[in-house]
Structure 1
Amino acid sequence: MLKVFLRTILIAMLAMVVTIPSVQAKEAKKTVNIPSSVLNIAKENTYPNATQDLPYLQPSDFTSQLLKTSNVKIENPNLIRMLNETSVNRSIFSIGLRAKIYLGEWPLNYESAETAPNWQYQKVNTNYYDNRGGKTNYKMHYVQETQKVVRGGLTAKVQKLEDVKKMMLLKAMKNTNLPLAFDTTIGAGTKKEHEYNIAPKRVGYLYGYAPAINEKGKVTYGEVYLVLKGTKKEIMVKNVTSQGIGAWIPVQDYISFGFSASEQPK
C-alpha cells in the first residue's frame, strides 16, 4: 500500500512539472493575426526606420531585493535603472542608522486591459490608373508617392509622459509580437511587387494605410521612498493613485492595402 501511495504522489508531481511550463509557454506566445492585405515593407522601405530596441531591464541583485520589499509592483525601467545605480554599503556603524530617502513620484507600473489593431489607422498613399481605354488587364503595383511620417501618442495627459510611453510600448510589443514605435516613416519611392489587376473600362485605386495598435490600460503612480533601518533596506510607496490611459502605437514597416475598381473616377 505504501509503495502504491508513493507512486501515485510521484506521478502527480511529474504531471505538474510537465504541464505547468506548457501553460506558461502558451501565455508567452501572444500574437496578433495579420490579414493577408497587410504586407511587410521593411526591405523595400526607402527610409530606414530605427529599430525600437527596448529590452526588459534586468534589475541587479540589490535592486531585486529592494523590489521584493515594495508594497506596490514596480516595472518602470527608468526607476529600475536608477535603483541599479544605487548602492548602500554595510558598516558596523549602520546598526543604529535610520533614514527615509524620498526618491520622487513615479509611474510604477502599467497594466494592460486591451491590445487591439487598427489596420487602417492612417491613409498614407493612393495609386491610381485609368484603364477605360485599355483592351487587357493592367497590373498595378504599390509605389509610395511622397514620404509620410505616421505618429502615435497617448490619449490623455499624464505625469512623466516618456516613462508611461515606454511601459506601454513594452507591454504592447509583448502582447502583439509586432515591431512598434510611436512614430514611423514610409519613404518616397517605396515599392511592393504585389499585383492588382484593373480590367478594361475600369479605373483602379490602390490605397495604402499605416496600421497601428490601440493599447488601453491603467498606469499606477506612487511616491517612492528608500527606507534604511540599520542593515535592513526596503522600498516604501505612499499615496498610490491609478489613472486609465490609452495610446495609439504605429506598426513599423507594414502597409495595409485596399484595392477598388470602378467604371468612373471617384
Structure 2
Amino acid sequence: MKIKWIVMMMLLSFLTFQSTADAAKAKQEGKPKVPSSVLNIGKENTYPNPTQDLPYLQPSDLTQELIETSEVEIENPNLIRMLNESTMNKTPFSIGLRATIYLGEWPLNYESSETATNWEYQRVNTNFYDNRGGKGNYQIHYVQESQKVIKGGLTAKVSKADDVKKMMLLSAMEKTALPLSFQTIVGAGTKKDQVYHIPSKRLGYLYSYAPAVNEKGKVTYGEVYLMMKGTKKMIVVKNITSQGIGAWIPVQDHLSFGFLTSEQPR
C-alpha cells in the first residue's frame, strides 16, 4: 500500500511538472491557448470564407542579393515581388555605367511589440428562450439568425495601408497560429450541435462572439533607390521614418460562446 502511494505521488509530481513546463513553453512561444468556449464553425458556416493564405514571398537570387545590400531590413512582400519581376543583364558596356533609379517610398518592415487576443471582440448573435413556464429543462443550441460581417482594420491612417496590413497579418498569423483575416463572415443559418440547458422558471441566453487579435507594433518607411555602379548593384534607403501602428484582425470561422440563465429579462 505504501509503495502504491509513493508511485502515485511520483506520477502526480511528474504530471504537475509537465503541465507547468508546457504552460511555460506556450507562454514563451506567445501562442494563445484557445478557450474551451471557442468553437470552430468552418464546416458548419453557411458562408464559405476564402482561405487566407499569405505565404512569405521567396526572393529571387537577384532580389536577395539586392536586399542584402540595404542597411534597412526589407520584408514588404509587394516590394519583394516588384524586385523579383526586375531583370538586370550584364553587358560589356556596364563597366562605366552609373545610374540611380527611384523606386518610391515604401513601408519596408513591420516590428511587432504586442499581440493579444480578444475572444469576445464583437457579438454576432443571441439565441434566447423563455422557460419560466416550463416544468423541466429546455435545450437550446446555437443558430445564426442573420448573416454577420466582422471587419478588422488599422487603428490609424498610414501610407500604403494595404502593404502595412499584409505585413501585420503575416506577423500575427506566425505568432498566434490562428486563421486570421481582416474580414470574415458568419452566414445565416449556421448551426452548432452543442446543447445548453435552461432550467424551468428561468430565461436562457446564448451569446455568440467573433474573436479577434489585437496586433501592435512599429512600421518603418523609407525612400528606396536602386543604384548601379558598373557591375555593382545595390539598394539605398533614404529619409527613414518609423510610425507606431495597431490593428484588429478577426479570427476566421471561429466563435466564442457565452451562456447564462436568469429569472428576469436582461
TM-score, L = length of structure 2: 0.89
- The equivalent residue for 1:112 is 112
Separation (CA, whole Å) in 2 of partners of 1:85 and 1:49: 31
- Check conservation: 2:182, 2:249, Cα contact below 8 A: yes
Residue type at the aligned position of 2:35: P
* Cα distance between partner residues in 2 of 1:191 and 1:261: 21
Whole-angstrom distance in 1 between the partners of 2:28 and 2:133: 55
Q: Does 1:80 align with 2:80?
A: yes
Post-superposition offset of 1:28 = 11
CA contact (8 A) 2:26 2:32 kept: no
1:39-65 CA distance string (max 9 Å, x none): 100000000001111110000000001
Question: Which residue number in structure 1 is paired with residue 253 of structure 2?
Answer: 253
**How far, CA to CA, are the matches of 1:103 and 1:260 in structure 2?**
57
Distance 1:130 1:29 in 2: 45
Task: Output the aligned Cα RMSD.
Answer: 1.5
5+ residue gaps in structure 2?
1-24
Q: Does 1:197 align with 2:191?
A: no
Segments of structure 1 that go 5 or more residues without pairing to the other structure are 1-24
What whole-Å deviation, never above 9, does each CA across 1:227-263 have from its counterpart, x for those lacking one? 1010000000000000000000000000011111001
Residue in structure 2 matched with residue 48 of structure 1 by the alignment:
48
Deviation string 1:205-226 (CA, Å, 9 cap, x unpaired) is: 0000000000000000000000
What is the aligned partner in structure 1 of residue 153 from structure 2? 153
Map 1:225-264 to 2 at 5 A. 225-264=225-264
State, as a whole percentage, how many aligned pairs show the same letter: 72
TM-score, normalising length: structure 1: 0.89
Cα contact 1:30–1:174 (8 A) shared by 2: no
Write the distance in 2 (CA, Å) between the matches of 1:67 and 1:52. Answer: 27
Answer yes or no: is the 8 Å Cα contact 1:141–1:192 preserved in 2.
Answer: yes
1:162 aligns with 2:140: no
Q: Counterparts of 1:96 and 1:27 in 2: how far apart (Å)?
A: 56
Matched, 1:95 2:95: yes
For 1:178 and 1:26, the matched residues in 2 are separated by 14
Residue correspondences, number: 242
4+ residue runs over 4 A deviation? 25-30
- State the Cα distance separating 1:195 from its structure 2 match: 1.1
- Provide closer, same or farther for how the CA distance between residues 222 and 27 of structure 1 changes in structure 2, counting only shifts above 3 A: farther
In the alignment, the residues of structure 2 paired with residue 32 and residue 67 of structure 1 have an alpha-carbon distance, to the nearest angstrom, of 33
How far the C-alpha of 1:31 sits from its partner, in A, is 2.2
- Paired AA for residue 243 in structure 1: Q
Corresponding residue for 1:214? Answer: 214
